[in-house]
Structure 1
Amino acid sequence: MELSQLFTVSLLANALALASLLTILSSGLALIFGLRDVMNFAHGALYMAGAYLGYTLSSVLGFWAALVVVPLVLAVAGVALELAVLRPLARRSHMDLALITFGLALIIGKAVTLVWGTEPRPVTAPAALAGSIDLFGEMYPTYRLFLIAVGFGTCAALAIWLKFSRSGMHVRAVSLRPDVARMMGVNTDRLGFVVVCLGTGFAGLAGVLAGPYLSVDPGMGSSILISCLIVVVVGGLGSIGGAIAAAVVYGFIQVIGSIALPSVAVLAPYLLLFVVLLVRPQGFGKGRVA
């Protein structure tokens, strides 16, 4: 296959669309890990729940209302996660917390199938984003461009908050040296609420955005969780900037690989993970050694 067939505008945009969805979801996962030192295996299930809630609210209130309401509902779920799981069990081992969040994912998945069933649910894009537009001579779905804009815009806003706001600086301080941050008077409990709510809210936002882009089905949470874990590890555990960079690389590898070498494309992300851990164990960003 010629390079001109691989690097078309539509394929590059498809890679960015996938990357934008992964950046939102992976940033939330990296935030929670960075502050709470917990790899939340329920993150994919929360994303799936957000997609199903988005499906229901879109049919009742419309897509735009769902885009606002669902992240808020998932942020409230983050409060429950913080109070019922992360804070009481903070002194437990990483393995215990991983198993607990994995069990929580199974509970959420079962609840979703009980409420919505096992059949895929179609979600249509709003009228304002339906159809296609001319993108450098190629017709491209308007909704995917919207997804790219929202995904990277959200992560840019998150990066600005972490870099320049006082609370964002506190989050970075606690992520790097929690003991020193506490000695300096940083309220880690309050930060825990903020970060976990942001992380789960991002899962809800990604779920709503995924509805018109992917099919809404009970398996969507587990499949994308694997992708997010690869992105977070490759980007550097707890590194938001690294997660964004890794998501872009992952998106290009997945989309272009599925066209160029479809038989081995499924292995490409794992090969990326292997190479990065071998050459640069801390990942792309200034994360911890995996």
Structure 2
Amino acid sequence: MVERKLLRPESMEDALGQREHYQRDALPIAGGQSLLVLLRNKLIDPKVLIDLERLSELREVKQSKDGISIGAMTTIHNLFSLPEVRTAFPVLSQAASKVGSTAIRNLGTIGGNICHNEPGADLPPALLALNALVELRSRRGTRKIGLSEFLRGYFETTIAPDEILCSVEIPQLPAKAAGVYLKHAISSEDLAIASVAVVLIRDNQQAGKAQEVRIGLGGVAPVPFRPTKAESTLRGTMLNQKAIRAAAEIAASEADPMTDPHGSAEYRRKMVKVLVRRAIAAVLEQPERNGHGKA
């Protein structure tokens, strides 16, 4: 049996010092839902685990006129339950409600979900569609980068060996915004075979016209991503059936799915077309909300 050192820092400064000291020999552990699976399957072999449980600042949720900052140790259950998220960013609340089982939602965290970077995870597509940023801290300082930059490749991120993901920041949505998350999976508790998050920013002058449509896709590429070509075809256009179908076709062409026991690459690509069409249709059916940042 492999013996690992478990460290329980009492402060963020202690945690950053441990991260700096052990570098690639150590990994932070939050809820442990993803990390423990990798350990059991011997896919990773850290000498040291840094338990972030005692760092209460990583559970803080701060809302302002500019948006919301969600601590990395916020559980997925709390993410789903937070009134601030349900009201202003319902697409994220919807995605959180689809994550695994009740036990997984109670223990898993937003930070762990992102750092694991599982292609079929539920939160990243919604966060991508919300233009989310991640805050990374080390003793060298703090940096904020877009989630799309953070998600490097298959189960990989751009976090440095001495950094800790501290929070996820979501810019406030404009008025007349709406969002929808849809998922296709073998069962409700499984990872997505394909998933889509859509955030629609309606045109202020003309009903049915899109100022901007943001799309986050999951399960259909090595990493969750934004199909930017599909998005660009919808920018400033009337969202009729022809435009939606064309965008869905383009989104499918931008996907890079893999074949696995849950579905072939071609099946996943077809599901992109179906889910993008359904998500845009669903978001169009939502009533306009004129309150600032309501979506």
Work out which structure has the larger RCO, using CA pairs closer than 8 Å and 6 or more positions apart in sequence. 1
The TM-score with structure 1 as length reference comes to: 0.27
Higher helix share: 1
Higher strand share: 2
The TM-score with structure 2 as length reference comes to: 0.27
